[in-house]
Homo-oligomer: A and B are copies of this chain.
Amino acid sequence: MRTIEEYIRLAEKAVGSIKLPKRPAGLYEPITYGLSNGGKRLRPALLLAACEAAGKDCTAALSQAAAIEMFHNFTLLHDDVMDNADLRRGKPTVCRKWDNNTAILSGDTMLTLATQLLVEGVAPDKAARLLDIFNRAAIGVYEGQQYDMEFESRNDVTEEEYIDMIRLKTSVLLGCAAQLGAEIGDAEEQQGMALYGFAMNLGIAFQLQDDWLDVYGDPAVFGKATGGDIMNNKKTFLLIKAMELAEGNDKKNLQYWLDIKDADPEKKISAVTAIYDSLGIGDICQKSVEKHNAEALRCLGKSGLTAEAAGFFEEFDRMVMNRKK
């Protein structure tokens, strides 16, 4: 096994090596722009590491690493249109720098390019299995995005529904990346499933942690001001759980802050945080983070990997859970 940084470097190189046609520039330039948005390349790095953990040199998986990152960035282009987002990682989104139509059409192109990259240079029987894993994850991502949009206008989302949504929207793709890598590395199916379970549960833990950090994170470590989710009434684990548990004055208060327009940020953030505190929401969220992270490590324990490879993924887990946003 190499270091995490080395896999990230190789993933970056794989993404940078993608050959795109020059014309029509209006179709392909937004793709290059979208791909160079400074993402951390965690998915392709995970794919490469899983391939090597299974015992094969990860240079066999560079095209698939590029594929998973291409797919991820396709979802970002379309999500930004759906969310009407101005910025991504501090740079104008494709739908702003160009327009919505460009983001839609270049995104479509990225999905097909991802499918091409996925099967490039792979024997047909292997390609069929990679495609099956990839397509099922893609369907999961769309379903998750659909639930996420639906939840915005619902007030009765349950914790279970919320976790299933983040599982689909963000975690199955991490699981898919690990499983694809294992498959390319000729791992036994059971090992591929174990790595899928590891990455998928880590993804859920990561997303829940993200929800928690936006309220309770140290801005100095977190890298940005907290409270954004509260200001936007974002249906995070914290808000959903608070809506479930709040009664009496807490409930009235919470609804007041959800309904108010143009609230003073400092007041709203501190009031909603106080409600969360009185209900113990932060701890409940942390328990769920720990539960899913433990499940990730339990899957890893069942993977039958070498001690070196298992140690690598434990370190990967720590890096993900301790990152700044």
Where the two chains meet, the residues of A that have a C-beta atom closer than 8 Å to any C-beta of B are 21, 24, 26-27, 78, 81-82, 100-101, 104-105, 107-109, 111-113, 115-116, 119, 124-125, 127-128, 131, 135, 138-139, 142-143, 145-147, 149-150
Nearest opposing residue in chain B for A74, CB measure: B108
- Please, how many angstroms separate the alpha-carbon atoms of A81 and B99 in the complex? 12
* Among candidates B27, B116, B119, B150, residue contacting A143 with C-beta atoms closer than 8 Å: B27
Known A112-B135, A112-B139; further 14 A-B contacts with Cβ < 8 A:
A24-B146, A27-B146, A78-B104, A81-B101, A81-B104, A82-B105, A101-B149, A104-B104, A105-B145, A109-B142, A112-B142, A115-B135, A124-B125, A124-B127
A109 partner residues in chain B, CB cutoff 8 A: 139, 142
Nearest opposing residue in chain B for A137, CB measure: B112
A247 → B minimal CB distance (Å): 30
A124 partner residues in chain B, CB cutoff 8 A: 124-125, 127-128
A77 → B minimal CB distance (Å): 10
Sampled A-B contacts (30; CB under 8 Å) = A24-B143, A24-B147, A26-B146, A26-B150, A27-B143, A27-B146, A78-B104, A81-B101, A81-B104, A82-B101, A82-B105, A101-B149, A104-B104, A105-B145, A105-B146, A105-B149, A107-B108, A108-B108, A108-B111, A108-B142, A112-B135, A112-B138, A112-B142, A113-B139, A116-B135, A119-B128, A119-B131, A124-B128, A127-B127, A131-B131
A104 partner residues in chain B, CB cutoff 8 A: 78, 81-82, 104
A115 partner residues in chain B, CB cutoff 8 A: 115, 131, 135
- Please, how many angstroms separate the alpha-carbon atoms of A207 and B131 in the complex? 34
Q: So how many copies of this chain end up in the complex?
A: 2
A113 partner residues in chain B, CB cutoff 8 A: 139
A27 partner residues in chain B, CB cutoff 8 A: 142-143, 146
A136 → B minimal CB distance (Å): 8
A111 partner residues in chain B, CB cutoff 8 A: 108, 111-112
- Please, how many angstroms separate the alpha-carbon atoms of A216 and B237 in the complex? 62
A248 → B minimal CB distance (Å): 34
